Amino acid sequence: MKIFVINLLKISLGIKNLRKIYSLLSKCVLRDNQIRHFEPSLIYSKEDSTVTPELIDLIAESSKLASKTVLNCGKKNLPDSKYLNIFPGEHYRLINAIAKTINAKNIVEIGTFTGMGTLALKYGLNDVLVTTYDILKWNELPLPSHFNSADFDESLNQIIGDLSDDNFFDNNLDILNNADLIFMDAPKDDSFEYRMAKQFKKLKNKGKRFLILDDILFVNMIDFWRKIKSPKIDATVFGHFTGTGVVDISDGFLYD
106 or 231: whose CB is closer to ligand SAM? Answer: 106
C-beta of 41 vs 231, nearer to ligand SAM:
41
The window from 1-9, 41-49, 181-189, 216-224 that contacts ligand SAM (CB under 6 A) reads: 181-189
Site string for ligand SAM, 157-176 (x = CB under 6 A): -----xxx------------
The reply on whether position 117 binds ligand SAM by CB under 6 A is yes
Q: Is 134 in the site for ligand SAM (CB under 6 A)?
A: yes
Is 136 a binding residue for ligand SAM by CB under 6 A? The answer is: yes
Residue 188 CB, nearest distance to ligand SAM (Å)? 8
Strand-pair partners of 160: 134
Tell whether residue 239 is a contact of ligand SAM (CB under 6 A).
no
Nearer to ligand SAM, 110 or 217 (CB): 110
Least Å from the CB of residue 62 to ligand SAM: 16
What residue ranges bind ligand SAM (CB under 6 A)?
A: 109-113, 116-117, 133-136, 162-164, 185-187, 192
